[in-house]
Amino acid sequence: MFSRVKRWLWRLLTPTQIGILQRPSLLLTKPTIGQVNFGDLRRTTPIAAGWGLDRGHPVDRYYIENFLAANRQDIRGRVLEVESNRYTLRYGGDQVTQSEVLMPVAGHPGTTIVADLTSADHVPGDSFDCIILTQVLQNIYDYRAAIQTTKRLLRPGGVALITVAAMASLVYGEDGDFHDYWRWMRLALEKDFLAFFEAQKLKVEAWGNVLTVTAFLYGLGSGDLKREELDTNDPNCPLILTVRAVK
Ligand SMILES: C[S@@+](CC[C@H](N)C(=O)[O-])C[C@H]1O[C@@H](n2cnc3c(N)ncnc32)[C@H](O)[C@@H]1O
Protein backbone atom coordinates (compact mmCIF):
# COMPACT_ATOMS: atom_id res chain seq x y z
CA MET A 1 0.00 0.00 0.00
CA PHE A 2 2.76 2.41 1.03
CA SER A 3 4.80 1.67 -2.13
CA ARG A 4 1.74 2.31 -4.33
CA VAL A 5 1.25 5.72 -2.70
CA LYS A 6 4.96 6.40 -3.08
CA ARG A 7 4.92 5.54 -6.83
CA TRP A 8 1.89 7.74 -7.35
CA LEU A 9 3.50 10.61 -5.42
CA TRP A 10 6.77 10.26 -7.35
CA ARG A 11 4.91 10.83 -10.68
CA LEU A 12 3.57 14.15 -9.44
CA LEU A 13 6.91 15.52 -8.21
CA THR A 14 9.82 17.26 -9.95
CA PRO A 15 13.34 15.71 -9.65
CA THR A 16 14.31 18.42 -7.13
CA GLN A 17 11.32 17.63 -4.95
CA ILE A 18 12.13 13.90 -5.14
CA GLY A 19 15.73 14.70 -4.16
CA ILE A 20 14.52 16.51 -1.04
CA LEU A 21 12.26 13.59 -0.11
CA GLN A 22 15.13 11.16 -0.59
CA ARG A 23 17.18 12.71 2.19
CA PRO A 24 18.03 9.89 4.60
CA SER A 25 16.23 11.56 7.49
CA LEU A 26 12.85 11.32 5.76
CA LEU A 27 10.56 8.32 6.22
CA LEU A 28 9.82 8.07 2.51
CA THR A 29 13.33 6.79 1.70
CA LYS A 30 13.10 3.83 4.12
CA PRO A 31 12.92 0.64 2.04
CA THR A 32 9.82 -1.39 2.71
CA ILE A 33 10.14 -4.74 4.45
CA GLY A 34 11.89 -7.24 2.20
CA GLN A 35 13.09 -4.48 -0.17
CA VAL A 36 16.34 -3.55 1.58
CA ASN A 37 19.22 -3.68 -0.88
CA PHE A 38 21.94 -5.48 1.09
CA GLY A 39 24.19 -5.70 -1.96
CA ASP A 40 27.64 -7.09 -1.04
CA LEU A 41 26.55 -7.43 2.58
CA ARG A 42 23.93 -10.11 1.80
CA ARG A 43 26.05 -12.94 3.16
CA THR A 44 26.42 -14.71 6.48
CA THR A 45 30.20 -14.65 6.73
CA PRO A 46 32.59 -11.67 6.81
CA ILE A 47 33.87 -10.35 3.46
CA ALA A 48 37.44 -10.53 4.72
CA ALA A 49 39.23 -12.08 7.67
CA GLY A 50 41.78 -10.05 9.61
CA TRP A 51 39.87 -7.10 11.09
CA GLY A 52 40.46 -4.97 7.97
CA LEU A 53 44.26 -5.18 8.14
CA ASP A 54 44.38 -6.08 4.45
CA ARG A 55 41.96 -3.30 3.45
CA GLY A 56 43.79 -0.15 4.42
CA HIS A 57 43.52 -0.11 8.18
CA PRO A 58 41.19 -1.67 10.77
CA VAL A 59 38.18 0.57 11.34
CA ASP A 60 38.49 0.33 15.14
CA ARG A 61 42.11 1.56 14.94
CA TYR A 62 40.86 4.77 13.30
CA TYR A 63 39.11 5.67 16.56
CA ILE A 64 41.80 4.22 18.85
CA GLU A 65 44.56 6.20 17.16
CA ASN A 66 42.52 9.41 16.98
CA PHE A 67 41.92 9.09 20.73
CA LEU A 68 45.63 8.61 21.49
CA ALA A 69 46.60 11.47 19.17
CA ALA A 70 44.09 13.76 20.89
CA ASN A 71 45.58 12.86 24.30
CA ARG A 72 49.24 12.70 23.29
CA GLN A 73 50.15 15.27 25.95
CA ASP A 74 49.44 12.56 28.59
CA ILE A 75 51.92 10.11 27.07
CA ARG A 76 55.03 11.29 28.87
CA GLY A 77 57.55 10.32 31.57
CA ARG A 78 57.48 6.63 32.48
CA VAL A 79 54.91 4.95 30.25
CA LEU A 80 53.51 1.41 30.39
CA GLU A 81 51.86 -0.25 27.40
CA VAL A 82 50.72 -3.85 26.84
CA GLU A 83 52.21 -6.08 24.11
CA SER A 84 54.39 -3.43 22.43
CA ASN A 85 55.38 0.22 22.80
CA ARG A 86 54.23 1.26 19.35
CA TYR A 87 51.72 3.84 20.61
CA THR A 88 54.03 5.02 23.42
CA LEU A 89 56.67 5.92 20.84
CA ARG A 90 54.33 7.12 18.10
CA TYR A 91 52.33 9.52 20.24
CA GLY A 92 54.62 10.15 23.23
CA GLY A 93 57.84 10.70 21.25
CA ASP A 94 60.41 12.78 23.15
CA GLN A 95 58.08 13.26 26.11
CA VAL A 96 58.67 9.62 27.11
CA THR A 97 61.65 9.12 29.44
CA GLN A 98 61.14 5.40 30.06
CA SER A 99 59.03 2.96 28.08
CA GLU A 100 57.88 -0.34 29.59
CA VAL A 101 56.10 -3.17 27.81
CA LEU A 102 53.96 -5.50 29.94
CA MET A 103 52.87 -8.99 28.98
CA PRO A 104 51.13 -11.59 31.15
CA VAL A 105 53.49 -14.36 30.00
CA ALA A 106 57.25 -14.34 29.40
CA GLY A 107 58.81 -14.75 25.99
CA HIS A 108 57.18 -12.01 23.93
CA PRO A 109 59.82 -9.83 22.21
CA GLY A 110 60.22 -6.38 23.74
CA THR A 111 58.61 -7.30 27.07
CA THR A 112 60.18 -5.51 30.05
CA ILE A 113 57.61 -6.48 32.71
CA VAL A 114 55.93 -9.88 32.99
CA ALA A 115 52.76 -9.42 35.03
CA ASP A 116 49.09 -10.27 35.08
CA LEU A 117 47.21 -6.97 35.33
CA THR A 118 44.60 -8.52 37.61
CA SER A 119 47.18 -8.55 40.41
CA ALA A 120 50.76 -7.64 39.41
CA ASP A 121 51.70 -7.63 43.11
CA HIS A 122 55.44 -7.61 42.32
CA VAL A 123 55.14 -4.33 40.38
CA PRO A 124 55.41 -1.38 42.79
CA GLY A 125 52.50 1.06 42.97
CA ASP A 126 52.75 4.76 42.01
CA SER A 127 55.19 3.80 39.24
CA PHE A 128 53.88 5.22 35.95
CA ASP A 129 52.97 8.63 34.56
CA CYS A 130 50.89 7.03 31.84
CA ILE A 131 49.40 3.59 31.18
CA ILE A 132 48.14 2.78 27.67
CA LEU A 133 45.67 -0.11 27.53
CA THR A 134 44.32 -0.38 24.00
CA GLN A 135 41.98 -3.35 23.46
CA VAL A 136 43.32 -5.14 26.54
CA LEU A 137 40.48 -5.17 29.11
CA GLN A 138 38.19 -7.19 26.83
CA ASN A 139 40.79 -9.98 27.01
CA ILE A 140 40.85 -10.09 30.81
CA TYR A 141 38.05 -12.02 32.50
CA ASP A 142 38.40 -10.14 35.82
CA TYR A 143 38.76 -6.78 34.13
CA ARG A 144 37.65 -4.89 37.26
CA ALA A 145 40.73 -6.21 39.07
CA ALA A 146 42.80 -4.97 36.11
CA ILE A 147 41.25 -1.49 36.44
CA GLN A 148 42.14 -1.54 40.14
CA THR A 149 45.74 -2.54 39.36
CA THR A 150 45.97 0.19 36.71
CA LYS A 151 44.96 2.78 39.31
CA ARG A 152 47.49 1.36 41.80
CA LEU A 153 50.34 1.45 39.27
CA LEU A 154 49.71 5.07 38.25
CA ARG A 155 51.56 7.86 40.01
CA PRO A 156 49.32 10.52 41.56
CA GLY A 157 48.30 12.72 38.62
CA GLY A 158 49.20 9.93 36.18
CA VAL A 159 46.83 9.17 33.31
CA ALA A 160 45.39 5.91 31.99
CA LEU A 161 44.38 5.96 28.31
CA ILE A 162 42.14 2.98 27.66
CA THR A 163 40.10 1.68 24.75
CA VAL A 164 37.68 -1.26 24.69
CA ALA A 165 35.42 -2.85 22.11
CA ALA A 166 31.79 -1.76 22.36
CA MET A 167 28.96 -3.55 20.66
CA ALA A 168 30.87 -5.33 17.97
CA SER A 169 34.15 -6.94 17.22
CA LEU A 170 35.46 -10.00 15.49
CA VAL A 171 36.42 -13.14 17.32
CA TYR A 172 38.01 -15.63 14.95
CA GLY A 173 39.29 -17.95 17.64
CA GLU A 174 41.10 -18.24 20.89
CA ASP A 175 44.63 -19.43 21.26
CA GLY A 176 47.57 -18.94 23.63
CA ASP A 177 47.03 -15.87 25.77
CA PHE A 178 44.36 -14.39 23.50
CA HIS A 179 40.97 -14.76 25.15
CA ASP A 180 38.15 -12.49 24.11
CA TYR A 181 35.59 -12.04 26.92
CA TRP A 182 33.81 -8.68 27.01
CA ARG A 183 31.98 -5.87 25.19
CA TRP A 184 30.71 -2.79 27.03
CA MET A 185 27.89 -0.29 26.91
CA ARG A 186 29.17 3.21 27.72
CA LEU A 187 27.17 3.48 30.95
CA ALA A 188 28.51 0.18 32.29
CA LEU A 189 32.11 1.10 31.51
CA GLU A 190 31.68 4.44 33.24
CA LYS A 191 30.33 2.71 36.36
CA ASP A 192 33.22 0.22 36.29
CA PHE A 193 35.73 3.08 36.32
CA LEU A 194 33.80 5.21 38.84
CA ALA A 195 34.41 2.40 41.35
CA PHE A 196 38.11 3.36 41.27
CA PHE A 197 38.45 6.89 39.82
CA GLU A 198 36.82 10.18 40.81
CA ALA A 199 34.08 11.38 38.45
CA GLN A 200 35.76 14.72 37.70
CA LYS A 201 38.95 12.88 36.70
CA LEU A 202 37.20 10.49 34.35
CA LYS A 203 36.04 10.84 30.74
CA VAL A 204 34.34 7.98 28.92
CA GLU A 205 33.43 8.49 25.25
CA ALA A 206 31.82 6.47 22.47
CA TRP A 207 32.98 6.41 18.83
CA GLY A 208 31.53 5.04 15.62
CA ASN A 209 28.12 4.43 14.10
CA VAL A 210 26.02 1.65 12.59
CA LEU A 211 27.97 1.79 9.32
CA THR A 212 31.43 1.56 10.89
CA VAL A 213 30.25 -1.20 13.27
CA THR A 214 28.85 -3.11 10.28
CA ALA A 215 32.00 -2.57 8.21
CA PHE A 216 34.15 -3.85 11.08
CA LEU A 217 31.97 -6.95 11.51
CA TYR A 218 32.35 -7.73 7.82
CA GLY A 219 36.12 -7.46 8.10
CA LEU A 220 36.25 -4.30 5.99
CA GLY A 221 38.87 -1.61 6.55
CA SER A 222 38.86 2.15 6.90
CA GLY A 223 39.75 2.26 3.17
CA ASP A 224 36.25 0.97 2.44
CA LEU A 225 34.66 3.99 4.15
CA LYS A 226 34.56 7.71 3.55
CA ARG A 227 36.13 10.09 6.04
CA GLU A 228 32.77 11.68 6.88
CA GLU A 229 31.32 8.22 7.53
CA LEU A 230 34.13 7.37 9.94
CA ASP A 231 33.79 10.75 11.65
CA THR A 232 30.06 10.42 12.36
CA ASN A 233 29.49 9.37 15.95
CA ASP A 234 26.20 7.85 17.02
CA PRO A 235 26.26 7.35 20.80
CA ASN A 236 23.61 4.64 20.37
CA CYS A 237 25.80 2.50 18.15
CA PRO A 238 29.51 2.82 18.98
CA LEU A 239 32.32 0.59 17.78
CA ILE A 240 34.86 1.72 20.35
CA LEU A 241 34.71 3.22 23.84
CA THR A 242 37.58 5.28 25.21
CA VAL A 243 38.48 6.15 28.77
CA ARG A 244 40.81 8.86 30.05
CA ALA A 245 41.25 8.40 33.78
CA VAL A 246 43.52 10.47 36.02
CA LYS A 247 44.71 9.17 39.41
C1 LIG B 1 44.00 -7.64 21.68
S2 LIG B 1 45.59 -7.55 22.38
C3 LIG B 1 45.86 -5.82 22.35
C4 LIG B 1 47.32 -5.51 22.28
C5 LIG B 1 47.71 -4.05 22.05
N6 LIG B 1 47.53 -3.27 23.22
C7 LIG B 1 47.00 -3.48 20.86
O8 LIG B 1 46.44 -2.38 20.97
O9 LIG B 1 47.04 -4.09 19.79
C10 LIG B 1 45.28 -7.90 24.10
C11 LIG B 1 46.53 -8.06 24.92
O12 LIG B 1 46.15 -8.19 26.30
C13 LIG B 1 47.09 -9.05 26.91
N14 LIG B 1 46.51 -9.62 28.13
C15 LIG B 1 45.57 -10.58 28.23
N16 LIG B 1 45.32 -10.87 29.52
C17 LIG B 1 46.14 -10.07 30.26
C18 LIG B 1 46.34 -9.90 31.66
N19 LIG B 1 45.65 -10.62 32.55
N20 LIG B 1 47.26 -8.99 32.06
C21 LIG B 1 47.93 -8.26 31.15
N22 LIG B 1 47.78 -8.36 29.81
C23 LIG B 1 46.87 -9.26 29.37
C24 LIG B 1 47.36 -10.11 25.84
O25 LIG B 1 48.59 -10.76 26.08
C26 LIG B 1 47.39 -9.26 24.57
O27 LIG B 1 48.68 -8.84 24.30
Q: What DSSP state is assigned to residue 225? A: S
Looking at the DSSP bridge assignments, the partners of residue 130 are 79, 159
**How high is the pLDDT of residue 18?**
61
The model's pTM is: 0.88
CATH homologous superfamily of 39-246? Vaccinia Virus protein VP39 (3.40.50.150)
pLDDT for position 24: 54
Is residue 167 a contact partner of residue 190, using CB atoms and an 8 Å limit? no
Q: Which residues pair with 203 in a beta bridge?
A: 244
| 3-class secondary-structure state, position 235 | coil
What separation in Å is there between the alpha carbon of 75 and the centre of ligand 1? 19
pLDDT of residue 31: 87
Q: Give the position, in ligand 1's atom list, of the atom nearest the Cα of 82.
A: 6
Which amino acids bring their CB within 6 angstroms of ligand 1?
Answer: 82-83, 103-104, 116-118, 134-136, 139-140, 177
Q: Which residue pairs, CB below 8 angstroms and at least 24 apart, start in 195-199?
A: 195/144, 195/147, 196/147, 196/148, 196/151, 196/245, 197/151, 197/245, 197/246, 197/247
Ligand 1 centre from 142 Cα, in Å? 13
* 3-class secondary structure, 32: coil
The pLDDT of residue 42:
96
Domain residue limits, the chain: 1-37, 39-246
Rounded distance from Cα 83 to ligand 1 centre (Å): 6
Atom of ligand 1 nearest to the CA of 135: 3
For ligand 1, the distance from its centroid to the CA atom of residue 117, given in whole angstroms, is 9
Q: Which atom of ligand 1 is nearest to the CA of 120?
A: 20
Q: Which residues of the chain have pLDDT under 50?
A: 1-2
Output the CA 82–ligand 1 centroid distance in Å: 6
How many whole angstroms separate alpha carbon 99 and alpha carbon 89? 8
Question: Hey, what amino acid is at 20?
Answer: I
Distance of CA 116 from the midpoint of ligand 1 (Å): 10
pLDDT of res. 9? 60
The 10s digit of each residue's pLDDT in 4-44 is 656 666 666 765 566 556 555 555 568 899 999 999 999 99
- Going by alpha carbons, the residue nearest to atom 11 of ligand 1 is 136
In sequence order, what E strands does 51-201 have?
Answer: 77-82, 96-103, 113-114, 128-134, 154-165
How far, in Å, CA of 97 to CA of 79, rounded?
8
Q: How far apart are CA 119 and CA 150, in angstroms?
A: 10
Which strands, in side-by-side order, build the sheet including 154-165? Answer: 113-114, 96-103, 77-82, 128-134, 154-165, 240-246, 202-207
Atom index in ligand 1 nearest the CA of residue 177 equals: 25
**Which residues have C-beta within 8 Å of that of residue 123, sequence separation ≥ 6?**
113, 115, 153
> How far, in Å, from the CA of 218 to the mean position of ligand 1?
23
Beta-bridge partner residues of 52: none
- The pLDDT tens digits of the residues spanning 45-75 come to 989 887 888 888 999 999 999 999 999 999 9
Best probe residue, ligand 1, of 51, 67, 75, 82 (max atoms within 8 Å of C-beta): 82
Q: What is the DSSP letter of 92?
A: I
Q: What is the pLDDT of residue 14?
A: 65
